[in-house]
Amino acid sequence: MINEKLSIKELQEKAKQIRLGIIEAVYSNNSGHPGGSLSIADILAVLYFDEMNIDPKNPKAENRDRLVLSKGHASPALYSALAYRGYFNVEKLKTFRNINSILQGHPDLKKVPGVDMSTGSLGQGLSCANGMAISAKLDKKDYRVYCILGDGELEEGQIWEAAMASNKYKLDNLCVIVDNNNLQIDGTIEEVMSSYPIDEKFRSFGFEIIKIDGHDIEEIKKAFEVARNIKGKPTCIIAKTIKGKGVSFMENQASWHGKAPNEEQYKQAIKEILGN
C-alpha cells in the first residue's frame, strides 16, 4: 500500500493540485473555508502522496495509516487531496456542500471514501486519534495515526485532556500536526485566546516537538521521518503556515476564514496557483 516515492518538485505539484481543488470546491457552491484549507495543502500533499501507507482501491484496509482532520471545516483540503489521490473523481469537488453530495461541509466517514473520522466539532479530533492509536497497539498493528489540529482549536480544553492521554499511553504511533497560521475566524490567536507557546505546552504534556515551515515540502518530509523514529512518546509537529497560502489576496487575512471567492476572485486565484 505504500505510495510510490515522488520528488520534491512532484510533491509541490501535488500541493498545487490540492490548492486548485480547494478553490474549485469553495467557489462551486459559494460556501466553505478556503483560508485554513490552503494553509495545509503542502502538509496533505506529503501525507497522501509520500508518507501515509494507504490504498485508494481499498480505503478501509485494516493496516492502513489513518488521518484525523480535527479542524473539520478545512474539508475542502482533505477532499481535494483524496480526489487527486484517486479515492473519487476530481469532478466531484464541484458538488461540494450540495445537498445531494457526499462532500458536505465537514467530513463524513460513512459517506466519503478515504475519510477516517467524521469531524467538525472542534477539539474532539485528538481524542479520536488517541483511540485509533491505542487500538493499533492493543491489536499489535503497525499503522500510524496523524491528527491535524488548528492553532485556534487549541483553545478547546478537550485537546489538553487528550494530550494527557497521548502521553500516558506512550502513543509513539501518533503524530499531531498543528496548523499554526496564527489566524482564526475572529482575528489573530493572541487577540482571541492565545495558545502560545504551543511548543512548550505540548512538550510539558510529554510530546516530542518538531518545528517546521509548513510550506517547505522537504522540511515536512523530514519531520515525518523523524516522527516515525520517535519511540515511547507521541510527536507534535508545529507547522508555521500562512492562512490562504498560494492566493495573494487571501494570505494572512482572517476575513477569508469562511467565505467563497466571486467569479473575478476565483479566476485570479486559479491563475496565481497555476503560476500564470
Residue 160 and residue 205 in contact, taking contact as beta carbons nearer than 8 Å:
yes
| Cβ-based neighbour number of residue 73 at 10 Å | 23
**pLDDT digits over 198-250, tens only?**
999 999 999 999 999 999 999 999 999 999 999 999 999 999 999 999 999 99
Can you give the pLDDT at residue 4?
A: 67
Task: Give the HSE-up count for residue 228: Cα atoms under 13 Å, Cβ half-sphere.
Answer: 14
269 within some domain: yes
**pLDDT digits over 71-130, tens only?**
999 999 999 999 999 999 999 999 999 999 999 999 999 999 999 999 999 999 999 999
60 within some domain: yes
Can you give the pLDDT at residue 82?
A: 98
Can you give the pLDDT at residue 1?
A: 58
- Which 3 state secondary structure label does DSSP give 180? strand
1 within some domain: no
163 within some domain: yes
3 within some domain: no
**pLDDT digits over 117-170, tens only?**
999 999 999 999 999 999 999 999 999 999 999 999 999 999 999 999 999 999
Residue 228 and residue 237 in contact, taking contact as beta carbons nearer than 8 Å:
no
2 within some domain: no
Of 90, 115, 104, which is closest to residue 14 (Cα–Cα)?
90
Residue-range definition of the domain harbouring residue 186: 8-274
197 within some domain: yes
Can you give the pLDDT at residue 5?
A: 81
**pLDDT digits over 37-55, tens only?**
999 999 999 999 999 999 9
Can you give the pLDDT at residue 172?
A: 98
Quote the crossing angle between the two packed helices 8-28 and 217-228, to the nearest 10°: 100
Can you give the pLDDT at residue 276?
A: 63
Residue 276 and residue 246 in contact, taking contact as beta carbons nearer than 8 Å:
no
Can you give the pLDDT at residue 72?
A: 97
Q: What are the CB-based long-range contacts (under 8 Å, 24+) for 264-269?
A: 266/23, 266/27, 269/23
Can you give the pLDDT at residue 3?
A: 56
| Residues 18-36, mean pLDDT to the nearest whole number | 97
Residues ≥6 apart with Cβ < 8 Å to 22: 34, 37, 38, 41, 76, 77, 80
Of 105, 32, 115, 110, which is closest to residue 81 (Cα–Cα)?
115
Of 22, 10, 72, which is closest to residue 269 (Cα–Cα)?
22
> How far is it, in rounded angstroms, from Cα 87 to Cα 81?
9
| CATH classification at residue 146 | 3.40.50.970
Number of domains in the chain: 1
14 within some domain: yes
